[in-house]
Amino acid sequence: MQREGRKQVKSNPVEWIFFDVGETLVDESAPIADIISQLIRAAGRRGIAVCERDIREAWMQAHERFSPFPMADILLRLFPDDALRQAIWKEMKYRKELDKPFPEAKSLLQSLSGSYRIGVIANQSAGTVHRLESYGLMEHIEAVFSSAETGLVKPDPRLYEHALQTTGCPACKALMVGDRIDNDIVPARQVGMHALWVRQGLALRQFSPSPSLQPSGTIPSIGEMARWLELWQPTDPTRAS
């Protein structure tokens, strides 16, 4: 989805800034805590004791391995029996309604929108625009490229290429902002974009597998982004082979 019309922006090293959603603009800590509690209760009903610390550690390790399905990895590790694992999986539900925007997200987008064009590139279920509207974030977002709507799923670089082609933005004039090395930083760098790693959430122990695919910068939270942009002195990103 891209809105009609073109905003005039100030001269900047990049024209477009694309954001991931989960754990970048939107805080997923509440639904993650909830689904961990669901897992503990489901295991407990079967006489199996698991603790939150072990689940979170397994989740972070799954991210370190660049697992596309961390929860599936966790269940396989905890419950080797197929029937038991599937039964527990059926009882669990990720409650997306518990998501909420990070406190700084709206003001950040508002401040950036005067100088940059703002987009979203994210793995999301259907209804991404509606959810962003409900968070009060859509007002400052011009284009949304969601896996559910495009049929392209991160880390597929084609999702990034589609966003660049649709917006007419050269890769070297685009900055991707996200919390995951595997889904946000690596594919953005592969297509020649700049990339800012927001090192928060359960993927904060990830690392780039290649010197040529390192993030352009790293911040500990989305609230630090405006300051980072003020100090950033970008170099031309080289398209990775």
Q: How many domains does the chain have?
A: 2
Last-in-domain residue among 97, 126, 142: 97
Last-in-domain residue among 75, 97, 119: 97
**Which residue, 205, 203, 195, 178, is CA-closest to 239?**
195
What is the tens place of the pLDDT at every residue in 50-87? 999 999 999 999 999 999 899 999 999 999 999 999 99
| pLDDT cut 90: percent of the chain above it | 88
Between the CA of residue 122 and those of 20, 154, 157, what are the distances in Å?
5, 7, 12
Tokens 């100030």 found at = 10
pTM, two decimal places = 0.91
CATH for 133? 3.40.50.1000
Answer yes or no: is 240 within a domain: no
Q: Does 108 share its domain with 74?
A: no
Q: What is the rounded CA–CA span in Å between residue 172 and residue 159?
A: 16
Question: CB–CB of 182/155 below 8 Å?
Answer: yes
Q: Does 189 share its domain with 200?
A: yes
Q: 144 lies in which domain range?
A: 16-28+99-231
Q: Does 35 share its domain with 23?
A: no
Q: Residue range 209-235: average pLDDT? A: 94
* pLDDT for res 11: 66
What is the tens place of the pLDDT at every residue in 225-237? 999 999 998 887 7
